Amino acid sequence: MKIAAALCAISLRAAAAHRPASAAFVTSISASSSAARAFWSSSASAAFVTSVSASSASSSLMMSTKQKEALLSCPTVPLRDGTPHPAIGFGTYKVGFIPASASAAVAGTETGVERTAEECVRDALEVGYRFLECAEFYGNESEVGKAIKASGVKREDLFLCSKVWTTTIEKGEDAIRAQLEKTLADLGTDYLDLYLIHWPVPGKHVEAYKTLEKLQQQEGKIRNIGVSNYAVEDYKELIDEGITSKPVVNQIEINPFLYRKNTIDFFESEGVVLQSYRSLRDGKAMDHPILARIGKAHSKSPAQVLGRWCVQKGFIYMPKSVKIARMVENAEVFDFELSEEEMTELDALTTPDAFETFRDLYRKCVNRDTSKDGSYEGVKMEVTID
């Protein structure tokens, strides 16, 4: 526990250097940062995988207590009500299942699944991940539930987040209630720590959000509610329409190649925590020379540099992989700090073209899979893109 606390201390100082003090990580400090560095210098380079069982389809993973504890005791970020949200989680999109309308599936470039979601999530839990990022759209929540059950991890030790998809949002309150029940049954739980509106479906998302408010306030099946892929203008629409509980989270794409600082600053000023998806940019930037150079300076991989940038900014980092070694690698972001100069250099990687690409994707996706799919009907054509 002293080691884990030392690691949290490192993250606290990093957060203070790059974020307002009000968004500092919630943690307790009972050891010096030198203790943490001593621990990691002696053992972080050692492989987490020490024993692989050929008889197990998911490859059984053996880890030392200290190695696993470093992830189990990761820093947390406080939500508006004080709930500690783990600073790192395991994303389950395209894990064991590829949605039919996923961009790669539509383009015909998706190569298929390598392993089942149950296998991958079971490994992620064994590695030490306790925040699982799920969604109706991902099509694998029942497999995630099987993995949770098989893992033996107690419900109170998990942080479960799910999102309701556009088709259900369009159908209205009864469909949303039915989907929540299905998600709870699939995951094998009687409550969610966090439930999000997946996209701000035009003309529908406000009422959908108000339904989530009812489910949270009246039935206790949702601990906290939030949104995903919301532009500043979508959030303001919620406020203008008289919601009573502000979103605690907005889940958006954030990485150095799509760093929308004005949008991020706005949501943080509203007390909304940012969850970062595509934190690792789907592996498409791992050969970038700046990432390679910074990684070399810290004896870290490009993926770990991206992950460290994310947590050092105070965002919730949600990497995903179907490979155990990558799950472990992706989590090793709490034992080093990027300098102010390195952070600034990474911040500058976003180009004007990236903002334009985001705008086009937003316009396309808010009606995705609904009866208005393929049209701009009701879509906000001008939103804050930077």
271 Rama class: left (phi>0) / alpha (psi -120 to 50) / beta: left
| CA pair distance 311, 85, nearest whole angstrom | 12
| CA pair distance 10, 216, nearest whole angstrom | 35
| Element holding 249 (H helix, E strand) | strand 249-253
| CA pair distance 138, 97, nearest whole angstrom | 7
Distance, C-alpha 7 to centroid of its chain: 20
Q: Which residues contact 242 (CB under 8 A, 6 or more apart)?
A: none
Contact 226, 251 (CB under 8 A): yes
Contact 196, 228 (CB under 8 A): yes
β-strands 249-253, 194-197: how paired?
unpaired
Q: Which residues contact 50 (CB under 8 A, 6 or more apart)?
A: 62, 63, 64
Contact 31, 69 (CB under 8 A): no
Q: Which token pair is 372?
A: 């208005």
Distance, C-alpha 94 to centroid of its chain: 14
Q: Which token pair is 241?
A: 């329409």
β-strands 159-164, 273-277: how paired?
unpaired
Question: In angstroms, what is the C-alpha Rg of the chain?
Answer: 20
* Longest CA–CA separation in the chain, Å: 58
Contact 308, 348 (CB under 8 A): no
Question: Which residues carry out catalysis?
Answer: 138
| CA pair distance 179, 173, nearest whole angstrom | 10
